[in-house]
Structure 1
Amino acid sequence: MREPEEIVKVAFEEISDCFENDTERNIKKLLAYGEPGVALEVIYSQLVEFDIAIPARVKEQLAVAAGVMGMNIEELQDLKIL
């Protein structure tokens, strides 16, 4: 099984151009510091706040990462897919 950091990193790389530079930089820092859970929460909140639609496979990857880390993220059902 892949590590949560890797799953979040790969998923985020696919959608990183949807975010402001500060968000992208912050997510990369969180992942570098071993904080994939916090990074995932930031990704979810930014996607919902800015009403950003993402590919279904990326949504699935983010959901897998949340599951691997035992996280229940309410915003998951609010994410829009392309």
Structure 2
Amino acid sequence: MRESGEIIQEVLEAVSGCFEDDTERNVKELLACGEPGLALEVLCSQLVEFDIAISFNMKEQLAIAAEIMGMDIEELQDINIL
């Protein structure tokens, strides 16, 4: 089974360049510091805030990462699908 941090990193790479602020850098720093839960929360909230649509598969992968960590992230439901 893949680690949650790996999943988050893959999704972040797929949406690279879509954010108009420091989201990408912040998520990478959180992952590097061993904070995948915070990284996932930031990534999901920023995808919603910037109205960035992702594939169904990517959204499903984020849900799996949350499940691995035992997290319930409300913003996941609000992320738009391509």
Between structures 1 and 2, the one with greater strand share? 1
Query: 1:68, 1:10 → 2: CA distance?
Result: 16
Structure 2 residue ranges without an equivalent (≥5): none
Aligned to 1:18: 18
Structure 1 residue ranges without an equivalent (≥5): none
4+ residue runs of structure 1 moved beyond 3 angstroms? none
Query: 1:9, 1:77 → 2: CA distance?
Result: 20
RMSD of Structure 2 on Structure 1 (CA): 1.0
Between structures 1 and 2, the one with greater helix share? 1
Compute the TM-score of the two structures, normalised by the length of structure 2: 0.93
Q: What is the count of residue pairs matched by the alignment?
A: 82
Aligned to 2:28: 28
Q: Percent identity?
A: 67
SS in 2 for 1:80: coil
Compute the TM-score of the two structures, normalised by the length of structure 1: 0.93
Query: 1:28, 1:60 → 2: CA distance?
Result: 20
